Copies of this chain bind each other. A is one copy, B any other.
């Protein structure tokens, strides 16, 4: 099975995010027969984004399970498989459909190790595409990270670049604990990049300074990292130097990288697509207010989705929900000038 790629060097290949997910899953299936993929339409259809296309032919229906439409049991059965020595990778077709499995993720997977005093563990991955900008309307656009990031026992990653997708998905698969792996669906085909060949992992819990700068720290993740980078480019001409941190992991969160950046730039802007109130930005802001308050030269600001239930299907209602690169640039400019 060949991974589609536009450019290939000896040590790396250019691929987009969806190809990176696919290639990584493929390698996991090849290298360890305890790996099982289960979810809706992952078999003959090869997942609705074709991530597992042809897997069922190569690995068989026992390892690529087209489940009934029943998310609680998709996750719950994966928990049981994991307890019994397999390494399941459960897919929730769209993040919006993860709600019925909340009990199995929060009440069970995240607490298995703890409640059994370490006797049972739950090494599993739950992958799901999230996020907007794709005309997905109320139930194919949501961000779900803030509904889960409060949960001890769980890890959450949300990579933005193909190389991180591979490294973090490998880390998630290797992880002895349950990992919620979030894939921003708008980045699937949009974002391309070099991906090293061979097996490698990126430690869960490490953020990445994707652009160094001196006047403002911007923390983001997912699609908005790319839009934030776009915004910083337009500011460069104005002589404004912005540091952009791609969080990559949401739980555990990389305090050290955020704090050392803020100590340098003395200003912090948090940008995320998810609603503001109680979102990931709340914890980042609180953490900085707790540990680096006197390093701040301006109030921390959060540029986030508005506190409405969802983006609408109609284009104006989707666009109004999303923050554009131009709006991001405005916020950066304002903060630097503060």
A residues within 8 Å of B by Cβ? 72, 96, 99-100, 102-103, 106-107, 110-111, 114-115, 138-139, 146-147, 149-153, 251, 253, 274-275, 277-286, 288-291, 293-294, 296, 298-302, 307-310
Closest chain B CB from A295 CB (angstroms): 10
Count this chain's copies in the assembly: 2
Contacts of A284 in B (CB 8 A): 286
State the 5 A-B residue pairs at the shortest beta-carbon distance, nearest first.
A150-B278, A285-B286, A99-B103, A102-B102, A289-B289
Contacts of A114 in B (CB 8 A): 138, 308-310
Closest chain B CB from A296 CB (angstroms): 6
Contacts of A307 in B (CB 8 A): 152
Contacts of A279 in B (CB 8 A): 150
Contacts of A294 in B (CB 8 A): 299
Q: State A24–B107 Cα separation when bound (angstroms).
A: 31
* Residue of B whose beta carbon sits closest to that of A300: B289
Closest chain B CB from A106 CB (angstroms): 6
Q: Are B102 and A99 in contact (CB under 8 A)?
A: yes
Contacts of A151 in B (CB 8 A): 147, 309
Select one of B138, B280, B289 contacting A111, CB under 8 A.
B138
* Residue of B whose beta carbon sits closest to that of A139: B107
Q: Are A106 and B147 in contact (CB under 8 A)?
A: yes
Q: Are B99 and A309 in contact (CB under 8 A)?
A: no
Q: Are A96 and B107 in contact (CB under 8 A)?
A: yes
Select one of B110, B111, B138, B149 contacting A277, CB under 8 A.
B149
Assuming the contacts A103-B100, A147-B150, asked whether A278 and B289 have C-beta atoms less than 8 A apart, the reply is no
